[in-house]
Amino acid sequence: MTAMPASASRWRRLQSDTDAVHRALDARIMAGDPFRDRDRYGRFVLMQLRFFRDIDPLYAEPGLCAVFSDLAERRRLPLAEQDVRDLGLDLPPSEPPLFGGAIDLPAAMGWLYVAEGADLGSPFLLKETVKLGFDESFGARHMRGHPQGRGLHWHRFTNALDAAALSPEEEPRVAIGAHSAFARVNALFEAAGLTD
């Protein structure tokens, strides 16, 4: 794939820069067949929960809230926690936070880009959860779409991402953050036991 021109929007450049790793992760997850049965789906939800725990501090970070005015309402950790309970599973013990102390805002924007992009792709996954008896009100709450539609919700996010004022030194850290987020999801997928 050719690189996006420098004049392209930040999110389009980010999309291009992470396309290969994103496609590889999607293929790996679907090869893991997380919707084969309730047990595998439970492992998938726990994987999602761990990722949402990782990024949860970002939703209260003042610098990020200044960029994304609706950031707090995009938080999905409570929904994932309820999904775990719906499935009759125990919440896993807390782990040391990935984002302790001062948060690198440009890198955090990359992490949020990955989280929001995953939400945009949730309708496909929701169709699979219905076959297992779960939906946006039970067991798959964390995949719930925004009342005004996922597309509009995504465009609000990408517009804010594009409008964020970053220095030339900060700009590359957005992509570094996105790659780190994809690597973290890969590691969580591996730990979830869905590779068999």
* CATH fit for domain 34-191, picks 2.60.320.10, 1.20.910.10, 2.170.130.30, 3.10.20.30: 1.20.910.10
Nearest to 46 by CA among 166, 139, 181: 139
Q: What are 1-16's pLDDT values in tens digits?
A: 445 555 689 999 999 9
Please tell me which residue, 148 or 153, carries the higher pLDDT value: 153
Confidence of residue 146 (pLDDT cuts 50, 70, 90): confident
- The region of weakest confidence among 75-79, 145-149, 168-172, 180-184 is 145-149
Strand partners, 139: 135
What span, in angstroms and rounded, lies between the C-alpha atoms of 139 and 133? 8
Q: What confidence score (pLDDT) does residue 39 get?
A: 98
Give the residue extent of every domain in the chain: 34-191
pLDDT range class, residue 101, cuts 50, 70, 90: confident
pLDDT of 148 reads 86
| Best CA proximity match to 158, nearest among 117, 187, 126, 105 | 117
Mean pLDDT of the chain: 94
Q: What percent of the chain has pLDDT over 90?
A: 86
| pLDDT tens string 42-82 | 999 999 999 999 999 999 999 999 999 999 999 999 999 99
14 touches 164 (CB < 8 A): no
